[in-house]
Structure 1
Amino acid sequence: MYIFGAGGHGKAIIDLVVSDSEFDVDGLFDDNENGKIMGIPVGNINDHQFSKNQDFHIAIGNNQTRKDLSETFKVNYPKLIHPSSTISKYSSIGEGTVVMPQCSIKAMTAIGRHCIVNAGAIIGHDVTIGDFVHVAPNSAVAGFVNIQEGAHIGIGASVIQGVTIGKWSIIGAGAVVIRDVPEYSVVVGNPGKVIKSVMHHNTTP
């Protein structure tokens, strides 16, 4: 497997692949080439010729960047799931999505493409998660929640049942979401309140 991204999330992905995956790391690429990361040389992706059958993972925390790269490089994007996570056989997970350690994903939940379900996150039953979403560590999402494309659920945030979180919104760390969140909104606090809007797709938390 080839990995794009040599930052903090990239290191976590390398660790997952090397330690607990059916894949090996065949190459590591980043725009900022910088020697080796965890013993793996970092190269420039523009210097490599890819075939559509090669396995690739976009190890970038920024949701918009993952979307851009997935649309640029038409290769194979297998999902990555840490063996310590519990995932219902009645759920589905899209291509390129990673489920990090100690996550719990309940029945009838559908997770889209190129998402990050980070360490310790709990996803309830009948949840719909769009493409390019990041659910940060120790977040809790109750049943029948709809998280739309590109949203970011901050570390330790809680989302009650039945809520819709609009696309490319940011839920702040520790926020408690008890009502629907409009698209491109930033929500903080307990109970969560919209404090501002974000520019189109500018969802770096």
Structure 2
Amino acid sequence: MTDKNDSKQVRLYGAGGHSQVIQSVLKQNGVEICEVFDDNPCLSHPLSKNITVTNRKNSLDFPHEGAPFIIAIGDNKQRNNIAEFLKTKFTKAIHRTAIMDPNSRIGDGTVIYAGAVIQANTIVGKHVIINTLASVDHDNIIHDFVHISPNAALCGLVEVGEGTHIGAGAVIIPKVKIGKWCTIGAGSVILKDVPDYAVVVGNPGRVIKMNRQLIV
């Protein structure tokens, strides 16, 4: 596993609430936030009052130059779209209180928040969010652009497909495979495999609809 931060300077894309939490992680790790970009330059970001939020259309003509980026946006599809737009280098941010097994692997652009636990032999892809106090046990595979919400618990040998959102407090039992671009409702208990694009809620979890707008 690499160090918790690969760079001493970071540029952020996104200036809303999710960005504020990432700024806190970076600040505690001694990383300087040198630039913040957003489609809406009027957004506030109180943890870095001296930084101007810049509209991307005027300032990202050459995004490959300068410090690496983190996409500071919670919505999985938006992170996916912006990553394709930027086509630049990314770095990761891992809170100093997160517990990371040395045999885990974390992709670029991924953010891991306070109190999260990543256990042995887990692979976390690019631009993933492992939120506050989430637990990801051994031998998990977390694909790109996933968001695992606060207090979610993934047991061993779980696989989560690209772009899936695991809601707060959800529990995934061992050896379950969750498809891509799914939504797992807060507090759900997932006892069996979940197909691509499914929206699942309840205990035990049941499919209530499909995310048709995400199906290509």
Please report the TM-score for the alignment, with normalisation by the length of structure 1: 0.94
Q: Distance in 1 between matches of 2:31 and 2:87?
A: 19
Query: What are the within-5 Å matches in structure 2 for residues 123-138 of structure 1?
Result: 123-138=136-151
Counterpart residue number, 1:21: 29
Q: CA RMSD in A?
A: 1.4
The answer on whether the counterparts of 2:169 and 2:186 sit within 8 Å (CA) in structure 1 is: yes
Displacement, 1:14?
A: 1.3
Paired residue for 1:34, among 33, 38, 42?
42
Query: What are the within-5 Å matches in structure 2 for residues 1-205 of structure 1?
Result: 1-18=10-27, 20-34=28-42, 36-38=44-46, 39=49, 40-48=51-59, 49-201=62-214
Displacement, 1:41?
A: 2.0
Q: Give structure 1 stretches of 5+ with no counterpart.
A: none
Q: Distance in 1 between matches of 2:17 and 2:44?
A: 14
Q: 1:35 to 1:72 in 2, by over 3 A?
A: closer
Q: 1:166 to 1:21 in 2, by over 3 A?
A: same
The answer on whether the counterparts of 2:172 and 2:189 sit within 8 Å (CA) in structure 1 is: yes
Residue 67 of structure 2 aligns to a residue whose secondary structure is coil
Q: Distance in 1 between matches of 2:39 and 2:125?
A: 26
Displacement, 1:200?
A: 4.2
The answer on whether the counterparts of 2:16 and 2:43 sit within 8 Å (CA) in structure 1 is: no
Aligned residues: 201
Bigger mean CA deviation after superposition, 192-201 or 45-54: 45-54
Output the amino acid matched with 1:3.
L
Output the amino acid matched with 1:116.
I
Give deviations 1:53-90, integer Å, cap 9, x for gaps: 52111011111111111111122211110010000001
The answer on whether the counterparts of 1:177 and 1:192 sit within 8 Å (CA) in structure 2 is: yes
Residue 83 of structure 2 aligns to a residue whose secondary structure is helix
Displacement, 1:201?
A: 2.8
The answer on whether the counterparts of 1:35 and 1:41 sit within 8 Å (CA) in structure 2 is: no
Bigger mean CA deviation after superposition, 22-31 or 83-92: 22-31
Output the amino acid matched with 1:109.
T
Please report the TM-score for the alignment, with normalisation by the length of structure 2: 0.89
Displacement, 1:27?
A: 1.3
Q: Distance in 1 between matches of 2:120 and 2:75?
A: 28
Q: Distance in 1 between matches of 2:121 and 2:43?
A: 44
Q: Give structure 2 stretches of 5+ with no counterpart.
A: 1-9
Q: Distance in 1 between matches of 2:188 and 2:141?
A: 20
Q: Distance in 2 between matches of 1:16 and 1:83?
A: 8
Output the amino acid matched with 1:149.
E
Output the amino acid matched with 1:42.
V
Output the amino acid matched with 1:164.
K
